[in-house]
Structure 1
């Protein structure tokens, strides 16, 4: 799409941003000072600022010192979860669809020292090795119109969760206990179901797809999913034994099944259409049954140019769901990677200078609002709107929004 940037277009963006931040600030704050600082913070995150820490943001928006922004993030009294709810509502209002997909993944913020809440030496997906970092499970909402973050969690390693003094200094609430990253995703799913977020599937990478508790939650609550799984995922054989997912592929290849591979696109990437070869087979994960009316399907994806580039996906969907639909959902998983990249490279998602629990949630959620504004603005530039009206929350059910089989 070729964009003709005009004065009227820039003015319309400014007017919309003012309306969005004002509406939200009026609900979050009683006094005018934090309302103004909040609006300045969002504008600063959206601006071309080299490094979006408190001092450079303050300089960009014309504050003589960083005190107003630091006070807003660290010491003012306001509810970051209320802001999160407003971000979600804004995204669903403009991008929502009953065919929406929730995408779970975690991102990391590399940090120095050991005083920032949740920071520890742990695996970092950014570098593929153990780093001193914070781990942030995130939830993206995606539809045909666009995609943006709608929920977030900060992972507390067991050493952190069990250290009363560190928790006290970092302001971790007493109600927060140790939870695995997949459990944090379950918590977010529960929230989305409770408020009636319209979605049809959950997508996630192997770190979440391999977790039997997350899959079991989806089965119990009739949530469809397409999640990457490891090659050793245990599946039930025809004789009632078990075999890893990789053996299923080996057997199919050995049998030289005609038409086993079909070349299909799983969506558009930054370099164009992402086409792969796909094979599918009905399976039963060991120890787990699908929801009533649902089935499990193993999707095997391999590269067109590199047949050794193989990835496995486990799908849980209504019986008779077209394979093309499952492949499309598998391809949407990468939308959260785009959100992570945009959030970090353009919006300062991990460039915060806060150490405590409240400050982390406030900064990250404000960056989520900035990303949501970009996503909605992009959808309008593309001439799109929500694909279909989203019913009021009271009518949306508590999970997948197809009432006959996903209520």
Structure 2
């Protein structure tokens, strides 16, 4: 990395934050906003009102706190700008929208949305806030595209508590999958270019999310629970019938046609697993016209989970796929591997830009801080893409539709030409 490159980044960041001056009705918050984003990108041990203010040369954190709590500007307009910036530089119809939630641990009961709930970071139930995120995962890079704060029912049923936290009166309870649907609707309304939707079983188990994708003809790879109700290839007499996802494991073991594929590079090297696939019918659900459903089974290479019999077994994960007829198994596996991009984005945002280090408690400042963090990491993603791909990102030669491939997965999990 050269001094010239660093200087170029500084100039571009100044240009980017300067172009967002239209969000503010006064010059002071424009300046403080630029300092806030610069501070999020700076090498500070912790990023809060005091440290960001000290870096900007302020004697107190008052101006940074006022930017989040008191000044007049719309975080949703900033969110639109983040999306437009990502699409302008990374936009690609082959991109995936990846859905997942993340948590920020908090003390007390005043922080908006805080409750004792499952914390993915620790794997247990603790006092935290949960935010549902969408990552834009394109061939040249990935970053957060959208966000929603999850409000447990103990919040939405207590309107006085909501008002104290600044939550608008029209904000009602919504499940995490419903928040995900709202963000997918916004992406479609904005004509965001993407080809697939990816999510883990917390979202894949939701029939409403699947139905939305069917109605919109959106391809997806969703992790699903073992009891997903479906029917698969017809069994022969006296063979087990298929009523749920894990019933297919019998047929997978009998025919033993697993294919070893990579989900990409991980922290410990290449993520290799064995895969097999079945053409299935999901109970009371129809795919979009020209689409089909498959159930993909992913098996670990080595025994790593202890079963009820006390023995170690290979872990099996199940993925429901909704894709154009003719989509290849290779394409499906490649897409499934893209789900890890959102976990990388969670880590990058928390480690580099203070995503979970905020000291705000109310609705509006929470959205302002989170969206400013998203802008900061979007900037990093675009600069990284330019380092790894110096070609101009005009997008003129890119495909406009998803190419489903020439081979299809049949009901035996094989690919045919």
State TM-score, norm by structure 1.
0.92
Q: Which residue of 2 aligns with 1:328?
A: 334
What CA distance in whole angstroms lies between the structure 1 residues aligned with 2:393 and 2:282? 36
| Equivalent in 348, 363, 372 of residue 369 of structure 2 | 363
Give yes or no for contact 2:233–2:278 (8 Å, CA) kept in 1: no
What CA distance in whole angstroms lies between the structure 2 residues aligned with 1:403 and 1:232? 32
Return the index of the structure with the highest Cα Rg: 2
Greater Cα shift, 330-339 or 276-285: 276-285
Q: How does 1:110-129 map to 2 (within 5 A)?
A: 110-129=105-124
**Cα distance, 1:250 vs structure 2:** 2.2
> Is 2:51 the partner of 1:45?
no
Q: Which residue of 2 aligns with 1:89?
A: 84
Q: How does 1:3-402 map to 2 (within 5 A)?
A: 5-24=1-20, 26-237=21-232, 243-253=243-253, 255=254, 257-258=255-256, 260-306=257-303, 308-384=314-390, 386=393, 388-389=395-396
**Cα distance, 1:390 vs structure 2:** 9.0
Q: Which gives a bigger RCO, structure 1 or 2 (Cα 8 Å, sep 6+)?
A: 1
Structure 1 303/388 Cα, relative in aligned 2: closer, same or farther at 3 Å?
farther
**Cα distance, 1:252 vs structure 2:** 2.2
**Cα distance, 1:59 vs structure 2:** 1.1
Give yes or no for contact 1:277–1:303 (8 Å, CA) kept in 2: yes
Q: Structure 2 stretches of 5 or more lacking a match? A: 236-240, 304-312, 405-417
What CA distance in whole angstroms lies between the structure 2 residues aligned with 1:270 and 1:58? 35
Give yes or no for contact 1:96–1:386 (8 Å, CA) kept in 2: no
**Cα distance, 1:271 vs structure 2:** 3.4
Give yes or no for contact 1:97–1:386 (8 Å, CA) kept in 2: no
Give yes or no for contact 1:96–1:390 (8 Å, CA) kept in 2: no
Q: Per the alignment, in what secondary structure is the counterpart of residue 341 of structure 1?
A: helix
What CA distance in whole angstroms lies between the structure 2 residues aligned with 1:105 and 1:377? 25
Give yes or no for contact 2:349–2:355 (8 Å, CA) kept in 1: yes
Give yes or no for contact 1:229–1:312 (8 Å, CA) kept in 2: yes
What CA distance in whole angstroms lies between the structure 2 residues aligned with 1:133 and 1:390? 45
Q: How many residues align?
A: 388
| CA deviation vs aligned residue, 1:44-102 (integer Å, no higher than 9, x gap) | 11111111111111112211110111000011110000000000000111111011100
| CA deviation vs aligned residue, 1:225-266 (integer Å, no higher than 9, x gap) | 00111112111255697622111012321x2x15x1111112
Q: Per the alignment, in what secondary structure is the counterpart of residue 154 of structure 1?
A: strand
| CA deviation vs aligned residue, 1:373-399 (integer Å, no higher than 9, x gap) | 1100100110255483499xxxx8xxx
What CA distance in whole angstroms lies between the structure 2 residues aligned with 1:390 and 1:58? 45
Greater Cα shift, 52-61 or 231-240: 231-240
What CA distance in whole angstroms lies between the structure 2 residues aligned with 1:368 and 1:135? 16
What CA distance in whole angstroms lies between the structure 1 residues aligned with 2:75 and 2:295? 39
**Cα distance, 1:143 vs structure 2:** 1.0
Name segments (4+ residues, structure 1) moved above 3 Å: 237-242, 384-391, 401-404
For the aligned residues, what is the CA RMSD?
1.9
Q: Per the alignment, in what secondary structure is the counterpart of residue 153 of structure 1?
A: strand
Give yes or no for contact 1:116–1:170 (8 Å, CA) kept in 2: yes
What CA distance in whole angstroms lies between the structure 1 residues aligned with 2:216 and 2:168? 29
What CA distance in whole angstroms lies between the structure 2 residues aligned with 1:366 and 1:276? 37
